[in-house]
Amino acid sequence: MELVKNRWVKGLLGVLGLVVLPLHFGLAAPATVPEAAAPPTTLNSFDAVVEAERQTVLAAQVAGAVVEIAVKPGDRVQAGQVLLRLDGQAAHQAALASAAQVRSAQAALAVATRDLERQKQLFAQDYISQAALERAEARFKATQAETEAQTAQAAATQAQAGYFTVRAPYAGVVAEIPVVVGDMAMPGRSLLTLYDPARLRATANIPQGALAGEATGNAARIELPGHSERAQWVVPLSVKVLPTVDAATHTVEVRFGLPPANGLVPGMFARAWIPGSGKMAAPLRVPLAAVVRRAEMTGLYVLDAQGHPLLRQVRLGQVWNDQVEVLSGLNPGEKVAPDAQAALTAAGN
């Protein structure tokens, strides 16, 4: 009679679409749950940050009040485009005065040139002495030198006036503008930050013992959490290992060149995956169905010695087909419920 009753209960659960989880809850026999396993190809992950290979902080070269800001953070600009203007009226007036002095010196040079030609003709006809010709040549050379000095001074004044207009040194994206209209700019004060979005990299500080010889090969990958599945994994264009080791942390800075991608900006979190050297602990894998997500908590049902599931918070890493890596919260050799929903349903019954 008891056997008939058990069969009737199981048949009813099947009709209702419930999953019968063979865990150790009284009558049911404990199931053999596979242990979290390491992936076939061992890859070690390290936190990284996205950086711009070319990022420039434009600073003031002269003193002046900010009178115009032509861009805003996030704008794309072209090389030579006006970004910001300072009050440079005095400098512009000085440039105009220098230009006028150049024109005056050029006029004097033209007169001295014609006078020297006439003196040469008179000397050829023996109307003037050698001394008179030499005086004419001296006046011409003095006027010529004065003209060159005025021209150089005017160029310096014009260049000084150009410092009051800040232009983009290359095509890029405006990252930050720490000033507003009316601020007083002094030499050396930061006015604007610009970076080149076409040249980005991911930089990671990796322990010196974790670098394998093939770490600079094609096996390295960059993970960009938060991006779509298609854009989440990137093959680095280049891998550069700096030839120095930090004396305090004993880590090596490794730079991974990134291809241009939409939504990728400096400062974003990334994760660098490189082949292991055999000295690192192998990462653990669990089925995706075993993951429990409740609000901001991510966990697994870990089985105790009696086979009872206990919810434990974990931190997950890379997804491999239908499995996911567990970065922390799970020890090697522990067993987890392969289906979190089934474990929860069985526990409720």
Q: What structural domains and CATH numbers belong to the chain?
A: 21-39+282-348 (2.40.420.20), 45-53+199-275 (2.40.30.170), 55-87+168-195 (2.40.50.100), 89-162 (1.10.287.470)
Highest mean pLDDT among 101-115, 268-282, 291-305: 101-115
Confidence of residue 221 (pLDDT cuts 50, 70, 90): confident
Residues near 329 by beta carbon (within 8 Å), at least 6 away in sequence: 299, 300, 312, 313, 314, 315
Across the range 204-219, mean pLDDT stands at 69
CA 2 – CA 6 distance, rounded (Å): 6
> Which region among 61-65, 252-256, 308-312, 338-342 has the lowest average model confidence (pLDDT)?
338-342
Residues near 198 by beta carbon (within 8 Å), at least 6 away in sequence: 260
Is the pLDDT reported for residue 229 higher than 70? no
Q: Chain-wide mean pLDDT for the chain?
A: 80
**Whole-number pLDDT of residue 348:** 58
pLDDT tens digits along 140-154:
999 999 999 999 999
In the chain, what's the furthest Cα-to-Cα distance? 150
- 3-class DSSP state for residue 269? strand
User: Distance from first CA to last CA of the chain, Å, rounded?
Assistant: 22
> Which region among 56-65, 146-155, 223-232, 256-265 has the lowest average model confidence (pLDDT)?
223-232
Whether the model clears a pTM of 0.75, i.e. scores above it, the answer is no
